[in-house]
Structure 1
Amino acid sequence: MNRQELKVVGASAVGTAFEWYDFFLYGALVPVIGSKFFSDYGSAAQTVFALLTFAAGFVVRPIGALVFARITDRVGRKIVFLITLVLMGVSTVAVGLLPTADEIGILAPILLVTCRILQGMAVSGEFGAAVTYVSEYAPPRQRGFFLGWLTGTTALAFSLSLGVQLLVQAIVGAAAFEEWGWRVPFLISVFPLALSVWIRTKLNESPLFLRMKEGGALSKAPLREAFGSRARVRMMAIVFVMAATQSFIGYLSTVYMVTTMKTYLKADSFTVNAIFMVVMLIGFFLCVLACWVADRIGRRPVLFIGLGLAALLAFPVTGAIVSTTNPDLARAQKNVSVTIQADPAECSFQFNPAGTATFTSDCDRARNTLQTDSVTFDRQDTAGPTKVLVNGTEVSGGPRMSEDLLAALRTAGYPVGGSSDTIKISGIGDVFGGRVIGVGLLLLALVAFAQMAQGPAATAMAEVFPTRIRATALSIPYQLGVGVFGGLLPATMVAIGAELGSTTTALWYPVGAIALGLLILVFALPETKGVDLAEVRLDGDTAPDDEAAPEEPVVSQGS
């Protein structure tokens, strides 16, 4: 990169990194958030509610795309950079100042969701503006490499958010961190974000955008133009599939795995954060590497290999993570048979955001007990009273059901209350232990699959639409795909696992979706390596009156 290119990529990546840092702080603190803002519920419900609030920041992202993408295409890329940074900073600091549910009741989660909505709006505008801006500065043969430094900041920001938590926790202590220290990472984010705003004010506008503005060729209605031809609508549908598919492995390998290791596998927060901090830092460079390779062999091969490996290896890799992180739990899940026999009418779906249901039946109490200790169980519908069979030992319903059930689980071999054999980093020497390194490598494999998909996908999205509507046309389907599927993935998987009694069953949801998305993309996604962004036009697409059409279409719709 020359000096100007380095300035563009560096300033864009730094600002994007700090926006994602703010956004991911919440995801990395899900167990704490659940206990502070949803304290009236059981542990499993706390986790699901906290993840649903995390998902709220994704659900609104299509709305943010509609608002900010139009500004990006009509007014400029740079102004959106600044607006989204300020919006993200204000909403993030607000999260750090919110009272908890014990202090103000139901108003606490309502305010939390409001802050997450503002964060989702901000990050949705950031993505389209940043990808469009950097792609329009990058040389055609290095566009993937340039964008790799930008898209990789999602992994870098996740690593940074974990690192800050570890530092604060080390300074104030674990007990104080649980009590009030969790607020500090949110509050101190105002300083790097202020620096990012100052840096971005020094950037120039995209040269392609300025050329169109000077020539009077800006789109007057980007949204209408984006849906103005069958070719563009078809390409937006392809981008939607691509965004949704890569988001499945992206959020499976990050937010879901962080939450699962802390709540389901009972690994302590410090150990999980330390491992993920290193893994995600490496993931940042893997994204850059994947995009560099995509500049040489094409976007399609790298993207397809990443998605294919994710679909093929998700089950064995996650199984190995369970057995390496908590061997006692893995053995118990394999060797101990647990079955709940109950009337279906007595077994409620235990996640009730309105707070109108009470979970007091024997079936509900049995399931809550089993979920708290990560017990895999089956369900049998019967007409009689609720009972639980633990390796053939019957535990009947009644006031002492929870105590009797825990005793039966201990006798059968379940590590009730946690296991002393769970991986734990207590000192620097533990970092180099075989099991810690093993878990790190397994997690790195999932993260690598995600980065192979994420970087080339973002590059391809910028290369299939004309400059005048690029931000709008890529942002809307991207945010729909990520918002509807990626953001809801962790909460959906936890809810499926809690309802059916098996996280393995829940894993079929992302694996099946990745496989289906890959199949669609193999036949539908065009190869865009090396295209001239100033000349992009889809097959059969007619240029608007104020946009000169090239003699030959650059992007083919064929595979």
Structure 2
Amino acid sequence: MTTSTSANETAVAQASREPSEKEIRLVIAASSAGTIFEWYDFFIYGTLAGLIGAAFFPSDNETLQILLVWAGFAVGFGFRPLGAILFGFLGDRLGRKYTFLVTVTLMGVATAGVGMIPTAASIGIAAPIIVIGLRILQGLALGGEYGGAAIYVAEHAPPEKRGFYTGFIQASVVGGFVLSIAVVIACRAVFNEAEFAAWGWRVPFLLSLILLAISLWMRLKLSESPVFQAMKAAGETAGNPFVESFTYPRNKRRLVIAFAVTGILTTIWYTAFFSGLSFLRGPMRLEESAVEWMLLVAGLISMSFYVIIGRWSDRIGRRRPIVIGALLSLVLLFPIFWGMGSLANPGLAEAARDNPVVVAGSECSTDPFTELFDREQTRCGKLLETLTASGVPYSVEPARILSLTVGDETISLQEVWFADGMARRDGLLAALTAQGFDFERKAPPPANILGIVALLLVLGLLSALTYGSVAALLAELFPPRIRYSSMSIPYHIAAGYLGGFLPLISGIIVARSGDVYAGLWYTWVVVALGLAVVWWGLPGGPPRDFSDEIASDG
């Protein structure tokens, strides 16, 4: 009896002791740095998508090559829920600290491995298979990282500052993307273009080993979460946190809310940063260095938005910023990308307006995956595919005989175009160039660059509104004994499948429709559905901890 009483007294003392300012700063710094490094490891793959495609997924079909890269990107996300289950179980049973030490180690080793794989030209099909295997390991690691870091900070933070402190974790996700851009820019400055394309792109992956060492050094200095220490001392840790996540009273409703919130934030986030990156690099045909600098500046400034929104949510509640951000996203998403398109390459838009491209024929639909299944794309489909990959808007009209007109000019279709993808691309671009189209990569004038950065910042603000308060919200939704599992499972299912598959799904929509803006409908629909659930199920008002909610409900 005395031993039990002593354990309970210790638990109460540890739970009630407020960490010092120095401890809080160390917790935030170490957790945020580790999160930046881990997301850097995951995002460097997407940042270098073009070179990854050439090295491991080579194809004469540009559209297929980039879709295969995004498929590999999606595979990593697809395994995040499994990582959430595995590491959520360990985090609720063994502790927060040591669990995310394991996740950051796994991520660092897997990322460095990508930089060591020989290309497909050297080892054939084994190269993409190994890449996919390492992406799976990264997905497993990431499934445990975010929940661990967010909960660790939330459980150290006083309730009135929980949104503010966890806002640094949310900003760190953007920080990982920003770091990946900064490292690529630095490597491009060190290596010439040929060297970087041949082998210099591997350096950002190998750098992961240095970042891993720094992250481990910082996180080993941390102590366990006081909330977990209290639960462990009191003997109140969950027996099977995965099962309890679905059997705990009213927890299923909370899981649905967490899934909906994550669906909103993750699709807006990836649309803002990855869709913005691929849109400007791809169909808008901007110089890669110009795109990287614009994303770097916008990302750096945007990081502050997440901390500000997190702090704001401590006063007004977690629900209001999410609802505001989702509603604004539904209204502004298409206009923002239309604006970036008009600023990025006004010459391309003007040429398409003055000399509209019309394809007339039968069976005019595209299937970017025909090459994988030894099927033959239709002749019309091949034309549409090349036009889409080149960022050229077009319209389709039914006709018995295939034809291509640009303005008032009919383009002679060469037979070699339908047998050789490279010849088709070169021939089409030459014919369109003669009609006023300019396919040289551009660096927009300074005023246009400022305008694009401003629009990227608006996207960053929309992301911050829907993301900045979420770590605090998810920590408050669930009971401490199953918090790691209950928070991680819906978060990573939604982020893994709704967000991780966004570049692939939106890319397929664009490839099939020929409209470079059509992929945005995927984001719009997911946000609209998520908003309906949040509006229905997430209570408003000031922040409420789980224990406060239970007390008021009782």
**Partner in structure 1 of residue 252 of structure 2:** 233
What is the CA-CA distance between 1:536 and the residue it aligns to?
5.2
Asked if residue 350 in structure 1 is aligned to residue 395 in structure 2, the reply is no
**Partner in structure 2 of residue 368 of structure 1:** 385
Report the secondary structure of 1:423's partner residue: coil
What is the CA-CA distance between 1:115 and the residue it aligns to?
1.1
Asked if residue 418 in structure 1 is aligned to residue 456 in structure 2, the reply is no
What is the CA-CA distance between 1:347 and the residue it aligns to?
4.6
Question: Are the aligned partners of 2:24 and 2:156 in contact in 1 as well (CA < 8 Å)?
Answer: yes
Question: Are the aligned partners of 1:359 and 1:365 in contact in 2 as well (CA < 8 Å)?
Answer: no
Asked if residue 314 in structure 1 is aligned to residue 333 in structure 2, the reply is yes
**Partner in structure 1 of residue 505 of structure 2:** 492
Asked if residue 221 in structure 1 is aligned to residue 214 in structure 2, the reply is no
Residue in structure 2 matching 1:513, options 523, 526, 532 = 526
Distance 1:4 1:405, change over 3 A: closer
**Partner in structure 1 of residue 111 of structure 2:** 92
Question: Are the aligned partners of 1:347 and 1:363 in contact in 2 as well (CA < 8 Å)?
Answer: yes
Partner Cα separation in structure 1 for residue 491 and residue 143 of structure 2: 9
**Partner in structure 2 of residue 172 of structure 1:** 191
Partner Cα separation in structure 2 for residue 458 and residue 357 of structure 1: 46
What is the CA-CA distance between 1:479 and the residue it aligns to?
0.5
What is the CA-CA distance between 1:373 and the residue it aligns to?
2.0
Report the secondary structure of 2:477's partner residue: coil
Asked if residue 552 in structure 1 is aligned to residue 552 in structure 2, the reply is yes
Asked if residue 251 in structure 1 is aligned to residue 270 in structure 2, the reply is yes
User: Any residues of structure 2 matched to 1:112-511 within 5 Å, and which?
Assistant: 112-229=131-248, 231-344=250-363, 347-352=365-370, 355-357=372-374, 359=376, 361-382=378-399, 384-395=400-411, 397-399=413-415, 401=417, 402=424, 405-415=428-438, 417-418=439-440, 422-423=442-443, 433-511=446-524
What is the CA-CA distance between 1:400 and the residue it aligns to?
5.0
Q: Deviations over 1:299-333 (max 9, x none)?
A: 11111222222111111111111111111112233
Structure 1 residues not aligned, in runs of 5+: 425-429, 539-550, 555-559
**Partner in structure 2 of residue 541 of structure 1:** none
Q: Deviations over 1:19-70 (max 9, x none)?
A: 0111111111111111221212411111111111111111111111111101
Greater mean alpha carbon deviation, residues 23-32 or residues 325-334: 325-334
TM-score, L = length of structure 2: 0.91
Structure 2 residues not aligned, in runs of 5+: 1-19, 418-423
Greater mean alpha carbon deviation, residues 329-338 or residues 147-156: 329-338
Amino acid paired to 2:394: F
Report the secondary structure of 1:355's partner residue: helix
Amino acid paired to 1:339: V
Q: Deviations over 1:267-292 (max 9, x none)?
A: 12111111111111111111101111
Partner Cα separation in structure 2 for residue 348 and residue 327 of structure 1: 27
Partner Cα separation in structure 2 for residue 404 and residue 10 of structure 1: 54
Partner Cα separation in structure 2 for residue 358 and residue 99 of structure 1: 29
Q: Deviations over 1:467-501 (max 9, x none)?
A: 00111111111101111110111111121111111
Question: Are the aligned partners of 2:355 and 2:408 in contact in 1 as well (CA < 8 Å)?
Answer: no
Report the secondary structure of 2:468's partner residue: helix
Question: Are the aligned partners of 1:64 and 1:125 in contact in 2 as well (CA < 8 Å)?
Answer: yes
Asked if residue 46 in structure 1 is aligned to residue 65 in structure 2, the reply is yes
Distance 1:275 1:230, change over 3 A: same
Report the secondary structure of 2:385's partner residue: helix
Partner Cα separation in structure 2 for residue 59 and residue 340 of structure 1: 38
Distance 1:246 1:356, change over 3 A: same
Partner Cα separation in structure 2 for residue 253 and residue 450 of structure 1: 7
Distance 1:334 1:80, change over 3 A: farther
What is the CA-CA distance between 1:537 and the residue it aligns to?
5.2
Identity %: 35
Report the secondary structure of 1:117's partner residue: helix
Question: Are the aligned partners of 1:493 and 1:509 in contact in 2 as well (CA < 8 Å)?
Answer: yes
What is the CA-CA distance between 1:202 and the residue it aligns to?
1.4
Question: Are the aligned partners of 1:341 and 1:387 in contact in 2 as well (CA < 8 Å)?
Answer: yes
Distance 1:59 1:380, change over 3 A: farther
Partner Cα separation in structure 2 for residue 332 and residue 497 of structure 1: 20
Q: Deviations over 1:197-255 (max 9, x none)?
A: 12111111111111111111111011111111562111101110110111111000111
